[in-house]
């Protein structure tokens, strides 16, 4: 069964991939980033089943999938709080399956995992070793959940190089990107648009309450700190009008500290060119929690203050030029 994942929270999608990655007869062939991409996603992946979640259900998408000739099954997961989903169509292709509120502790031989395999018509056994994904498809698993970037003087140019490298492989990014670039109000929107135009990665000036989506980048608003908080399985942007830190607003440390408080979240941090030491304390916290830290090298930096502070603190896993950092991020994403 070739399974396509509908738009859903990144953490849930990651756990579903984990539970299905070694199941004989089941091939997770892709993920949709928006409801409007169904025809293209089915056409390029050859999907037979659409896996949806009631917590982020779009009835229009479900109806379109039920009408699609190539889709033989729509499997809708729910947490049991939905006694009735308004407007849910009655269709032989549609199956509902109750799932736990969180799948973090769900084992491959757990009750939900077995039920999921049964609904997909898969064998009950799980392969002892993971099968390698086909080169033409995105990696089935990731080594991190969110990419966090801090930058200052010379940062816009370094970000352009980094984003171009991330997009250069031609595969969709399976993780969201959050960026704190030291910048005053009125200029962040233009930077986000420039990054999007040059790389193709959808980039936005962060707004309060904005939900992070994989493959998208979110830049701290000018003159406001960016914090990340969780709502259920989703990561949400919060704008903070608190005092400057490290003489900066927005400050990289504020963003990184909010991510360090999410103990189950795997963060990969990149510190790019910039003056001062903003980001060092946040990197220390994340490094202590097992996160990977990458820094821009001195030769390619306009100012080697921020990345140099992290590198000299002995908490960096690599010190590289932006193009090499992009390659390292890509490799880590498929780890």
**Residues tagged active-site:** 152, 182, 278
In the β-sheet with 27-31, what is the strand arrangement from edge to edge?
27-31, 2-5, 49-53, 73-78, 94-98
Closest CA to 203 of 142, 136, 156: 156
DSSP run (H or E) holding 293: strand 292-296
DSSP letters, 44-63, are HHT-SEEEEEGGG--HHHHH
Cα distance between residue 6 and residue 45, in whole Å: 13
Closest CA to 217 of 194, 245, 251: 194
- Whats the size of the chain, residue-wise? 335
Closest CA to 294 of 260, 266, 326, 251: 326
DSSP run (H or E) holding 172: none
Q: What count of other Cβ atoms lies within 10 Å of the Cβ of residue 128?
A: 6
Cα distance between residue 132 and residue 298, in whole Å: 37
Cβ contacts of 35 within 8 Å, gap of 6 or more: 6, 7, 58, 60, 61
Angle between the N-to-C axes of helices 111-119 and 10-20, in degrees from 0 to 180, rounded to the nearest 10 = 80
C-beta of residue 109 within 8 angstroms of C-beta of residue 22: no
Virtual torsion, Cα 74, 78, 84, 86, nearest 10 deg:
-60
């Amino acid at each position: 069964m070739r399974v396509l994942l509908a738009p859903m929270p990144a953490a849930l999608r990651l756990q579903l991939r984990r539970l299905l990655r070694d199941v004989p007869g089941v091939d997770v062939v892709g993920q949709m980033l928006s409801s409007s991409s169904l025809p293209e996603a089915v056409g390029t992946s050859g999907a037979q089943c659409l896996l949806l979640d009631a917590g982020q259900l779009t009835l229009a998408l479900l109806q379109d999938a039920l009408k699609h000739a190539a889709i033989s099954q729509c499997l809708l997961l729910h947490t049991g709080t939905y006694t009735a989903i308004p407007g849910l169509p009655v269709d032989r292709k549609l199956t509902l399956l109750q799932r736990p509120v969180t799948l973090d502790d769900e084992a491959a031989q757990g009750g939900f995992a077995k039920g999921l395999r049964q609904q997909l018509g898969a064998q009950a056994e799980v392969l002892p070793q993971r099968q390698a994904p086909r080169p033409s498809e995105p990696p089935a698993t990731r080594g991190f959940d969110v990419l966090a970037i801090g930058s200052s003087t010379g940062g816009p140019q370094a970000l352009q190089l980094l984003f171009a490298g991330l997009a250069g492989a031609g595969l969709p990014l399976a993780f969201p990107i959050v960026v704190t670039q030291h910048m005053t109000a009125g200029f962040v929107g233009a930077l986000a648009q420039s990054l999007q135009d040059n790389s193709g990665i959808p980039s936005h000036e962060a707004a309060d309450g904005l939900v992070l989506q994989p493959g998208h980048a979110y830049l701290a608003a000018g003159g406001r700190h960016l914090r990340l908080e969780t709502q259920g399985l989703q990561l949400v942007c919060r704008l903070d009008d608190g005092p400057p830190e490290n003489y900066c607003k927005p400050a990289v440390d504020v963003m990184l500290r909010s991510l360090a408080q999410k103990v189950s979240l795997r963060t990969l941090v990149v510190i790019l060119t910039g003056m001062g030491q903003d980001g060092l304390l946040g990197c220390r916290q994340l490094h202590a929690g097992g996160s990977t830290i990458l820094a821009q090298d001195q030769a390619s930096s306009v100012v080697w203050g921020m990345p140099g502070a992290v590198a000299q603190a002995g908490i960096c896993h690599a010190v590289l030029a932006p193009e090499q950092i992009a390659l390292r991020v890509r490799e880590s994403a498929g780890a």
